[in-house]
A and B are shown apart, each in its own frame.
Chain A
């Protein structure tokens, strides 16, 4: 069966420091991969999605970037964190169709101080 992992589970970082959050999927090949940020009362905001290795689409301009170095690995990065980057980050995967269910990871709680 398919599983999705995210790490770390929680992270506290100073302003201006770099960031790397990792997401890996097991049990499927060539998944669509997604990074979301979840904010209280504002639902899930799609940050990046990828339909294949090296293919990244950004939904909103911001201080973050994403990369997909391997088929089942999706990384969210920043060179210099801002206070506003604090939040709960979720990774998800799905099959190739628009009606395919998205499967979510456990999330990473990021606090920037």
Chain B
């Protein structure tokens, strides 16, 4: 069965630190990959998505993710986090004809 794994459940960083959140998926073949974010008190919203082309995807608010097919990974990165990046981050994946599968989420706390 398809699955999506997020390695870190909780991450605490200071402002200006660099961020990398891990995501691995178990799909074979063509895969579509997503990162969603849920800020405190807000709706879940899309940060970025990959479905083809350049494996380095840029999203909103300075986030980017790199699709590495050989590692079945789609890690989320940001060079310098801000307090406003405090949120829960979800990786998700699907392939043709299948529904999205979400990872367990990573809670990020950025200390001012």
Q: Mark A21-50, 1 if CB is under 8 A from B, else 0.
A: 000000000000010100001111110010
In the complex, what residue of chain B is closest to A92 when comparing beta carbons? B44
Give bound CA distance, A41 to B7, whole Å.
11
Chain B neighbourhood of A105, CB < 8 A: 43
- With A44-B90, A99-B49, A99-B51 as known contacts, state yes or no: A59 contacts B44, CB within 8 Å: no
Assess whether B44 is in contact with A101, with CB atoms less than 8 Å apart. Answer: no
Interface size class of A (residues with CB under 8 A): 20 to 34
CB distance from B96 to the nearest CB of A (A): 6
A102 to B90, Cβ gap below 8 A? no
Q: Flag the segment in B64-72, B75-83, B98-106 that touches A.
A: B98-106
Q: Which of chain B's residues have a CB closer than 8 A to the CB of A45?
A: 102
Q: Judge whether A43 and B103 touch: CB under 8 Å.
A: yes
Of chain A, the residue at the smallest CB distance from B46 is A101
Contacts of A102 in B (CB 8 A): 46, 100
- Give per-residue flags for A73-113: 1 if the beta carbon is below 8 A from chain B beta carbons, else 0: 00000000000000000101000001101111111000000
Q: Considering the chains assembled together, what is the distance between the CA atoms of A4 and B102 in angstroms?
A: 20
Q: Using a CB–CB distance below 8 Å, which chain B residues touch chain A? A: 4, 6, 9, 32, 34, 36, 43-46, 49, 51, 90, 92, 94-105
